[in-house]
Structure 1
Amino acid sequence: MCWSAEADAAAGAVVAGLGTVCLLRVRDPRRVPLAALPLLLGVHQLVEAAVWLGEDGRIGPGPALAARTVWALIALPLLPLLVPFGVWCAAGPGHPRRRTLGALAVLGAVVAVPLAVAVLRRPVSAEVRHHTLAYAVGVPAAPLLTAGYLLATVGALLLSGDAALRRLGLALGAGAVVCAVVWRLAFASTWCALAAVAAVLLLGWAGGTGPPVPAGAAGRGPGAGK
């Protein structure tokens, strides 16, 4: 999907369309944050199409920099915020792992802060490498933050207790390892392309409903007890 501006635009349009359908299928409001993920990832691919245009010299340096910055903001701080928070919301009060899911949502927020600072404090650069894009953001303590990023996102999906979300977590976890080993410097680009493909797994899940809410359990925040 990350091979060219045209490939990203086509993939982004398809995934964004599926994301819109995903949101329209939602019956349980608690599933809205996570059901929005495919739409966000579709938009992300469309933004990357603009990054390609900048690298090809088909748009000016100002719009190209804006596209790289938006791409990095979605890929780095926004995803570790949205995914574990979405899983926590979908679990609902009374979920046996609600405390753990709340902790992963907090971890995602903690990881997102230095990632957002890194994106905003200096220009994001991108370079075409072997038919994909390698981004340079200058993230401090990158191995530690990457570990926290994957633990918050993939970990929340695997611990969700929902079979569809576990399948998504397994797909993304395996894909992240493959991307890291095969693409190395192009890890972020290929990881998000895989995430956009895997997000279609949420289509069927979005139309479901969560477990019944126990009496008196509503209103608990992240990290609340079981």
Structure 2
Amino acid sequence: MCWSATADLVAGTGIAVVGMACVARVRRVRDLPLAALPLLLGAHQIIESVIWGSGGGAGPATLAWAVIALPLLPLWVPLGVLCAAPPNARRRLSVPLAAGIATAVPLAYALATRSVTAGIRGHTLGYVLDLPHSGLLVGGYLLATVGSLLLSGDRLLRWLGVLVAAGAAVCAALWRLEFISAWCAFAAVCSVVLLGWVSRRPVDRP
């Protein structure tokens, strides 16, 4: 999320370009899901620029944004980390993946049965979706996304997990104050970290 339509569009385009570079540098097929994450984040920002332009509401762009943010990311991140992880890390990574599945299913059901709306609040966009047990869902979401990175066993991915956790805390505080939405900046930094991660990955031996 960014503070204006222009900021979302510029950030989203830049993040998507980094994502294309990540995908182009992939040396192992099993690294592809995690390497493609910046492409998804870039598309997410670009979709939000459309929501800004329409003044919010409950249109197709709002639903597309919510699908990516809510059920898709808590599945994508732990699955991508699991695919890229060495065999000795896969057992512990099944925990955040299970949390991602347990979180994504009720979120997907909520999107299928309830309406999600977006509204402009100062320099932020607020999204409203009636969710039962929201505290549990937030915990499961963080375990799936941040937890999978921290448990990955890869030094750079662990640092990425710390960065995501810190960014989520800062952005949530700024968003609650309706001061500014700065997640796009953290998403850009995370995408650059992933580019560094992809560039350092070894080639599969025949």
- The two structures share one fold, judged by TM-score above 0.5: yes
1:202-221 alpha-carbon deviations (Å, 9 max, x no partner)? 001113336979xxxxxxxx
Change (3 A) 1:168 1:131: same
Q: Which residue of 1 aligns with 2:80?
A: 86
Residue pair 1:92, 1:210 contacting (<8 A) in 2 also: no
Q: 1:192 to 1:115 in 2, by over 3 A?
A: farther
Aligned to 1:224: none
Equivalent in the alignment of 2:154? 162
> What is the CA–CA distance in structure 1 between the aligned matches of 2:165 and 2:135, rounded to whole Å?
16
Judged with a 3 Å threshold, the aligned counterparts in structure 2 of structure 1 residues 185 and 211 are, in CA distance, closer, same or farther, namely farther
Task: State the partner residue of 1:54.
Answer: 54
- What are structure 2's unaligned runs of at least 5 residues? none
Give 3-state SS (helix, strand or coil) of 1:105's partner: helix
State the one-letter code of the partner of 1:110: A
C-alpha distance 147-190 of structure 1, shift in aligned 2 (>3 A): farther
1:110 aligns with 2:102: yes
| Contact 1:15 1:196 (C-alpha < 8 Å) held by counterparts | yes
Aligned pairs for 1:117-128 within 5 A: 117-128=109-120
- Residue 192 (structure 1) shift: 6.2
Alpha-carbon distance in structure 2 between the residues aligned to 1:122 and 1:208: 43
1:48-82 Cα distance to aligned partner (Å, 9 max, x none):
001101117xxxx7xx6100000000001100000
Question: 2 CA distance for matches of 1:150 and 1:184?
Answer: 18
What's the CA shift for 1:150? 0.4
Change (3 A) 1:192 1:144: farther
Is the Cα contact below 8 Å between 1:30 and 1:92 reproduced in 2? Answer: no
In structure 1, the residue matched to 2:13 is 13
- The equivalent of 2:93 in structure 1 is 101
RMSD, aligned α-carbons: 2.2
Q: How many residues align?
A: 203
Q: Which has the larger radius of gyration?
A: 1
Q: Please give the residue correspondences for 1:9-48 in structure 2 after superposition, counting only pairs within 5 Å.
A: 9-48=9-48
CA distance in 1, matches of 2:170, 2:37: 22
CA contact (8 A) 2:26 2:32 kept: yes
Q: Secondary structure at the match of 1:72?
A: helix
Distance change (3 Å), C-alpha of 1:113 and 1:192: farther
- Tell me by how many angstroms 1:2 deviates: 1.0
Mapped contact 2:27–2:204 kept (Cα < 8 A): no
Matches within 5 A, 1:64-83: 65-83=59-77
Equivalent residue for 1:219? none
TM-score normalised over the length of structure 2: 0.90
**Cα distance in 2, alignment partners of residues 49 and 181 from structure 1:** 22
Q: 1:160 to 1:73 in 2, by over 3 A?
A: same
What secondary structure does 2:115 align onto? coil
Q: Report SS of the residue matched to 1:21.
A: helix
**What percent of counterpart residues are identical?**
54
Separation of aligned partners in 2, 1:105 and 1:28: 21
Distance in 1 (alpha carbons) for counterparts of 2:177 and 2:47: 20
1:221 maps to none
Match of 1:195 in 2: 187
Q: Quote the Cα distance in structure 2 between the aligned partners of 1:36 and 1:139.
A: 29
Q: Which moved more, 1:191-200 or 1:153-162?
A: 191-200
